[in-house]
Amino acid sequence: MSKIALTPNASGSGTFTIAAPNSDTDRTLTLPDEAGTVLTSGRTGAVLQVVTGSTTTFLQKDSGDGWVATGIKATITPSSTSSKIVVLGSINGTGTSADSCRINFRLYRGGSSIADLYDGLYSNQTLSNLSASLQYEDSPSSTAALEYEFYLDVDNSGNAFLNNYASSQNTRSQITLMEIAG
């Protein structure tokens, strides 16, 4: 059987108290089998978890289609309602029009739009390579599983955007979700 030992600090003058919470539930605190320092959950700004999602799926988007899901998505379950979720996106594609074409992005959480991220990407030549770096900080106030996904739209009639244009390149678009302690 393992033993429990509490060792006081010889130079400290304070009292260290271990107090039970006000709870009607029996709980067990299991310590890891390793040496180290216990981290507290009160560390505001600490990265608690990172989740990524990516796609290389072909997507054609013509102007006039409205907002279209890109398939660039990931799901995260925050550990606290005070946590922030930092959303980072790296989107690659190809413009298909020689006319000026503006690519707009929108961030959805759980099927609802939460932010317009007009990156201002422009295609002004046929098959020009395009890339966007998107970022957003969300305060969902939830501990439920949350799916984030980028949507896109194209301005100007007759223009298109091909996400990960498979015939000429093997590109990957990605979303990264970081839970930050609040």
User: Is residue 23 in some structural domain?
Assistant: no
* Structural domain span for residue 60: 51-180
- Of 53-67, 94-108, 131-145, 153-167, the range with the lowest mean pLDDT is 153-167
pLDDT digits (tens, 9 = 90+) for 115-133: 998 766 665 555 566 778 8
Predicted pLDDT of residue 89: 93
Q: Smallest Cα–Cα separation from 161: which of 37, 47, 68, 32?
A: 68
Q: Is 48 helix (H, G, I), strand (E, B) or coil?
A: strand
Chain-wide mean pLDDT for the chain?
81
* pTM exceeds 0.75, yes or no: no
32, pLDDT greater than 90: no
User: Is residue 142 in some structural domain?
Assistant: yes
User: Is residue 20 in some structural domain?
Assistant: no
Could you list the beta-strand ranges (E) of 110-172. 112-123, 128-138, 146-154, 160-163
User: Is residue 56 in some structural domain?
Assistant: yes
Using 50, 70 and 90 to split pLDDT, how confident is the model at 68?
confident
Strand duo 84-95 + 146-154: pairing = unpaired
- d(CA 56, CA 9) in angstroms, rounded, equals 56
Residue pair 79/49 in contact by the 8 Å Cβ criterion = yes
CATH of the domain at 148: 2.60.120.1340
- d(CA 54, CA 56) in angstroms, rounded, equals 7
Between residues 95 and 108, which one has the greater pLDDT? 108
User: Is residue 65 in some structural domain?
Assistant: yes
Give the chain's domain count: 1
Burial class of residue 106, CB neighbours in 10 A (0-12, 13-18, 19+) = buried
